[in-house]
Amino acid sequence: MYALVRPLLFVLDPKAAHALGMAALAPLEHVGLLRAVARSMFAEPRERLVTRTMGLTFASPIGLAAGFDKNAMRARALAALGFGHVELGTVTAIGQEPNPAPNLFRLPADRALVNRLGFPNDGAEAVMRRLAARGGARAVGVPVGVSIGKSRRVPIDPLAPAIADYVASFRAAREEADFVVANVSSPNTKDLRVLQGAALARELLSALVHENESGRRVPLLVKVAPDLADAELEALLDVAKELGLAGVVATNTTIGRAGLVTAPARVEAAGAGGLSGPPLRARALDVVRLARAKLGREATIIGVGGIETADDVLTFMRAGANLVQMYTGFVYGGPLIASRLARDLDARLEGMGAAHLAELVDSLGRG
């Protein structure tokens, strides 16, 4: 059905199509009976897929990445469609508008997106109040992550204001989130990626770890860029391990454009911003493998980048991921893709004679 609707949606500007999709999810978000029916149809429990990590239980390893629901508008609806977790945001301490339009582009030949939105959101406290008013993570029904980033108007040099900005977002997020992700890797906020350097990352993440110890404690992860050289990535992972972070999200979008089949003129017209979708997959897998080797067996690794099929999920698991997330695949695959992938993944495991996803992953020697 979505294959018939998608060409009509893709006639619209991406921002308008997203707004239409969010509007279509409103009844599911606000009517409990509809959510219950949807859950029974699209979020069927599958014992083979249950994943336990970070002290949390995920009915499916397939989650929705940050960026789709920046303001916690549709978390309950998205969970009802079959996602095993939902990561909201990215939120910032100071609410802010998107970067100047146009700021979101499709590359259909590559099933990819380019965005330079720049963390538009209502502000961390406002977004968390909205989530709380709707019953919090418990009402969503699946683990809820919240991605936090730096407010655009807060400088990085000196670093202290940026750290205070992240800490303010963290304080708000942890009151409702099941886990929090420090996003230091978006290419769409000026100078943000310098925070991935080991020295600056240690200062920032140390402050967040300290804050985490002073109140309600939640698993804290860091989201890394695919564009880091391996040596830079290893240095950042050393910091994450040293500070006892719960794990990493691998990866954010890429500023690279290599290997695209889209006409160069169209790529150039899209301009700067983060590229997501299948062109990112190979590097994301490399980063997952490196992170698993560096962080060991106990860390949680969430793989992100070009996931479209159950085979993609298995490939990320084999590389070392505990969980996976999708965003661009949701845009191109439609609202039922998480449910479909869970069904297909369950069937694949049954065909392999695996009683549980963990059994297959462990047999492949992760860590």
Q: Model confidence over 25-77: pLDDT tens digits?
A: 999 999 999 999 999 999 999 999 999 999 999 999 999 999 999 999 999 99
Cα–chain-centroid distance for residue 160?
27
Q: What are phi and psi of 46, to 5 degrees?
A: -130, 105
Instruction: Quote the radius of gyration of the chain (alpha carbons, Å).
Output: 19
Give residue 365's pLDDT: 45
- The DSSP bridge partners found for residue 363 are none
The separation between CA 83 and the C-alpha centre of its own chain, rounded to angstroms, equals 12
Q: Which residue, 271, 185, 180, is CA-closest to 217? A: 180
Across the strands, what pairs with 64?
86, 326
Architecture in CATH for domain 2-362: Alpha-Beta Barrel (3.20)
What pLDDT score was predicted for residue 8? Answer: 84
Burial class (CB in 10 A: 0-12, 13-18, 19+), 259: exposed
Query: CB within 8 A of 255, min separation 6: which ones?
Result: 187, 227, 272, 273, 274, 275
pLDDT digits (tens, 9 = 90+) for 200-256: 999 999 999 999 999 899 999 999 999 999 999 999 999 999 999 999 999 999 999
| Burial call 190-203: b when 16+ CB within 10 Å, e when fewer | eebbebbeeebbbe
The token duo for 192 is 């943000």
Q: Which residue of the set 60, 151, 169, 186 is catalytic?
A: 186
Parse the chain into domains and list their residue ranges: 2-362
The pLDDT score that the predictor gives to residue 4 is: 79
- Chain Cα centroid distance, residue 244: 21
Q: Tokens for 119?
A: 């963390």
User: Packing angle between helix 310-319 and helix 281-295, nearest 10 degrees?
Assistant: 30
Q: Which two tokens stand for residue 277?
A: 């979708």
Is this model's pTM higher than 0.85 or not?
A: yes
For residue 102, say if its preceding peptide bond is cis, omega within 30 degrees of 0.
yes
For the chain, the distance separating the N- and C-terminal CA atoms, rounded to the nearest angstrom, is 41
Whether 40 is a known active-site residue: answer no
Angle among Cα 254, 7, 347 to the nearest 5 degrees reads 70
Reading the block at residue 292, the tokens are 């698993």
Q: How far is C-alpha 114 from the geometric centre of its chain's CA atoms?
A: 16
pLDDT of residue 174: 97
Q: Which residues, given as ranges, of the chain have pLDDT below 50? A: 365-367
Query: In 254-335, which ranges are E strands?
Result: 274-276, 300-304, 323-326
Torsion of CA 66, 118, 251, 191, to 10 degrees: -140
| Nearest Cα residue to 68 out of 354, 353, 304 | 304
Instruction: Confirm if 143 and 56 have CB atoms less than 8 A apart.
Output: yes
